[in-house]
């Protein structure tokens, strides 16, 4: 059987080009449906996907010749990794390709929150000139807490290097990772000292809805909260409650517990969220830039070459 790869999502052409150079036959079908994929995946040794659909038992069962799944992004939460492991199917992803985008996006959200950019812009457009009401905070001297110190957490820490902040990082699964950009601390130190909290952890059964009212309760100081990781890690209602209580000064959310319309508009917390001027929302684009679009495919191709 020829080595065939099926691309079912919109990937930068470099992945296809480099795969062909490695001797693969590549069918690039970004408009293919899940049902069409099920009907033809039996002939392929590899599948490349972004977020179109979950690579689950049904897909794996229809693909007896599958050797690898290439996920064009950072996380693997839309792939049933247990089945892949049991069947010796390799999983490759590309956090190296979009970590700079995520780090920059997190900094942008934080600066916008601390300086009231969203509210100030809206007020001026509506004839309001309020300097005092839009007085902001400086980052210099603040303590920034990072949860998760993989590619994304490290990138955020590096981007903060010029702001003269004290960056603290906690990672449940790593030790001895202090570097020039962050110092390893306990979770107790994070909750005691943080002025800013930023999440950079994957969605797992352990982290799903981990951040709730009790989680925020333990923080000793009011915080600015940033989530560019996965929306299902955080109860949106807990963020709104934290803002109402003064525990959260502002929240920058690139990801939400429920995403896309119409499902988002049907959530009982959506109206309160959209009306809250202490929240900045972006549509899960933290890692999705014109640059990362290319870099993700380059990383995937490099990892495919190493398989």
Percent helix, strand, coil in the chain (nearest 5)? 40, 15, 40
Q: How far apart are CA 284 and CA 294, in angstroms?
A: 18
Place of tokens 């009907």: 39
Q: Which of helix, strand or coil describes residue 194?
A: coil
Kindly tell me the burial class for residue 221, based on how many C-beta atoms sit within 10 Å of its own C-beta (0-12, 13-18, 19 or more).
middle
CB 229 within 8 A of CB 201: yes
Q: Which CATH class is domain 97-281?
A: alpha beta
CB 184 within 8 A of CB 169: yes
Please name the CATH architecture into which domain 4-93 falls.
3-Layer(aba) Sandwich (3.40)
Q: Is 259 a catalytic residue?
A: yes
Catalytic residue among 54, 118, 284, 294: 284
CB 229 within 8 A of CB 203: yes
For the stretch 167-178, pLDDT in tens is 999 999 999 999
For the stretch 24-41, pLDDT in tens is 999 999 999 999 999 999
Task: State the chain's mean pLDDT as an integer.
Answer: 97
CB 224 within 8 A of CB 250: yes
pTM for the model stands at 0.94
Q: Does the structure show a pLDDT above 90 at 156?
A: yes
Q: How far apart are CA 165 and CA 182, in angstroms?
A: 10
Rg (CA), the chain: 21
- What are the φ/ψ torsions at residue 208 (nearest 5 degrees)? -60, 120
Which residues of the chain are in CATH 3.40.50.720 domains? 4-93, 97-281
- What are the φ/ψ torsions at residue 27 (nearest 5 degrees)? -105, 110
Catalytic residue among 259, 272, 294, 298: 259
Q: Is 230 a catalytic residue?
A: yes
Q: Is 135 a catalytic residue?
A: no
| pLDDT confidence bin for 2, thresholds 50/70/90 | confident
Closest CA relative to residue 137, chosen from 165, 157, 159, 177: 165
Output the pLDDT for position 111.
98
Q: Which of helix, strand or coil describes residue 263?
A: coil
For 186, other C-beta atoms within 10 Å of its C-beta total: 10
């Amino acid at each position: 059987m020829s080595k065939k790869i099926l691309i079912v999502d919109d990937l930068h052409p470099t992945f296809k080009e480099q795969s062909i150079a490695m001797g693969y036959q590549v069918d690039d079908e970004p408009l293919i449906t899940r049902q069409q994929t099920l009907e033809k995946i039996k002939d392929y040794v590899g599948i490349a996907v972004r977020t179109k659909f979950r690579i689950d038992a049904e897909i794996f069962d229809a693909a007896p010749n599958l050797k690898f799944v290439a996920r064009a992004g950072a996380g693997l939460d839309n792939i049933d990794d247990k089945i892949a492991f049991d069947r010796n199917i390799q999983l490759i992803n590309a956090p190296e390709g979009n970590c700079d985008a995520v780090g920059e996006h997190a900094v942008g959200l934080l600066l916008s929150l601390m300086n009231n950019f969203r509210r100030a812009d809206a007020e001026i457009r509506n004839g309001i000139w309020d300097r005092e009401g839009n007085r902001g905070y400086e980052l210099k001297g603040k303590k920034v807490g990072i949860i998760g110190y993989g590619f994304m957490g490290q990138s955020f820490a590096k981007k903060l290097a010029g702001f003269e902040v004290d960056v603290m990082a906690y990672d449940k699964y790593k030790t001895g990772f202090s570097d020039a950009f962050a110092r390893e601390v306990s979770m107790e130190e994070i909750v005691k000292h943080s002025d800013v909290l930023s999440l950079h952890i994957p969605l797992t059964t352990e982290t799903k809805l981990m951040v709730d009212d009790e989680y925020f309760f333990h923080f000793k100081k009011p915080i600015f909260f940033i989530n560019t990781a996965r929306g299902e890690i955080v109860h949106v209602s807990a963020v709104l409650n934290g803002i109402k209580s003064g525990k959260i000064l502002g929240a920058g959310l690139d990801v939400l517990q429920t995403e896309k319309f119409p499902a988002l508009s049907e959530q009982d917390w959506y109206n309160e969220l959209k009306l809250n001027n202490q929240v900045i929302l972006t549509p899960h684009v933290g890692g999705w830039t014109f640059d990362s679009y290319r870099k993700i495919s380059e990383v995937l191709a490099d990892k495919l070459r190493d398989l």
